[in-house]
A and B are shown apart, each in its own frame.
Chain A
């Protein structure tokens, strides 16, 4: 079966983001970028399913600036077979527009399973997978930590607030990945070289007939209030005294 996986290019999760002084956003110029960690888990899952013989082809899709090609090459170095980039003019791509573009590609590619990260660590929206699923009228398994495909259904385990949930969903379906689904592999140099030869198609949103006009206007972006510096205590006795007499929380 064919699997479609989406990958997003984001600021490297280990980089400390800086809010722009004019309050229009965060600084992205000359900042290290990387594949969104949950998208790495999505690719890894598809590759493992291919290695297990469940999946025959993995199509990686990214949406955004031309530099997203690098993210797609990383996906292909991990094991995706080919890449599709929807090159957008605007940097402000919001989840609904992204979901519509992904749906348009799914309509063309007809995968049986779509694997997406549960959230991107830049806008922290946690929407796109569920939206794609709704636009298609497909079932979803959001925050997935386990998946077993059985013909035309899949048994999934989902992370919920109090523990785990088990569902059986009909295929085709969209699943979004949670942390414990797998541990993504490191890409190796030979695979990076091989990935350069894999096909990468570039499309424009207009070609897919999708209006990507943002619905939310960002009025300002600011730094959160800082916590004032704390006090170092010498030992447990002093800590307890502070908690009882100063903070009065116990």
Chain B
């Protein structure tokens, strides 16, 4: 078997999720090739070459891959797809965007967000916001798969694979990339953080998130939010943890003023340790929490920050 893993990167570094996807590929078994496509991304290819267990890195460096435009990335993957039995990408905003295009063009039913590999054609994936786990077997000749990072450990980065240049694919000209507005933060990314402090509707306002940020900074944590907090306009959507946001599994997840709707639990219930702080004794979040404190968050959070000092 030969497996293609499409790396997600920022031009220099790999984004979290790529090395976990390589681990999923290793569980399938076979030669693993990592594709790094982008504009001025040779550094990212060098980083990818260090992933343990891979055979080689393909580097496609061309202007049409700036921003990871789905139409062009899919077209590039299709130029080499016939060489592989499995095509994998992380189930992130990047992977989810272009992979179904690859699958449709190959007349393949994609297998989304696998959380475990059973065999080369059988995989486990969560459905209904993680309230059920489906084991599915693919009859397609090529398996097109997106990988939920929290289901797999990150691969080690002590290898030294060769980097080969890959000729750029066509510029489809269908979409023009006009830039990104990235949330600026010195805190770790949600999907890579060891500790996450998340706020919900109970925070009351975006201004009140400052007390969570103070706690997060004390812990070196990322700040997240429930969909209710995003819908209420407290914080931007990229903070969202849940079925329709990011799926996280940190060492420690601190849920503050979050009731624990099904769709939020879907995004964080695989965290190692969960703390819930909520003044409502009936909050469903307590059912998944390892430790829960029934207290007004505006009293408890500053006190916790203080106590950790």
Give A residues with C-beta under 8 Å from B: 11, 13, 16-17, 19, 26, 38, 94-96, 99, 118-119, 121-135, 138-143, 145, 155, 159-170, 173, 178-180, 214-224, 227, 229-233, 235-237, 239-240, 242-243, 247, 249-250
Contacts and interface: CB of A to CB of B under 8 A. Distances in A.
Given A125-B110, A167-B176, A219-B136, A243 B101 contact: no
A138 B71 CA distance: 9
Given A167-B176, A217-B136, 6 more contacts: A163-B182, A163-B238, A215-B108, A227-B287, A236-B307, A250-B252
A99 to B, nearest CB: 6
Nearest to A166: B178
Interface string B56-92: 0000000000010111001000000000000000001
Interface residues of B, number: 92
B103 A218 contact: no
Nearest to A136: B104
B179 A218 contact: no
Contacts of B39: none
Contacts of A236: 293, 295, 300, 303-304, 307
A235 B293 contact: yes
Contacts of A159: 93, 237-238
The interface residues of chain A, by DSSP majority, are classed as mixed
B231 interface: yes
B308 A240 contact: yes
11 contacts: A96-B108, A130-B100, A134-B100, A159-B93, A161-B246, A215-B109, A221-B127, A222-B132, A231-B290, A233-B291, A250-B252
B219 A250 contact: yes
A237 B307 contact: yes
Nearest to A167: B175
B251 A249 contact: yes
B238 A162 contact: yes
B223 to A, nearest CB: 14
Contacts of B189: 161-162
Nearest to A162: B182
A224 B243 CA distance: 15
Interface in B117-137: 122, 126-137
A113 B189 CA distance: 35
B160 interface: no
Contacts of A227: 269, 274, 287-288, 290
A213 to B, nearest CB: 9
B165 interface: no
B109 A168 contact: no
A140 B70 contact: yes
B180 A166 contact: yes
B180 A169 contact: no
B269 A165 contact: no
Among A13, A127, A232, max chain B CB count under 10 A is at A127
Contacts of B243: 121, 124
Nearest to B263: A13
A250 B308 contact: yes
B74 A163 contact: no
A134 B101 contact: yes
A247 B104 CA distance: 46
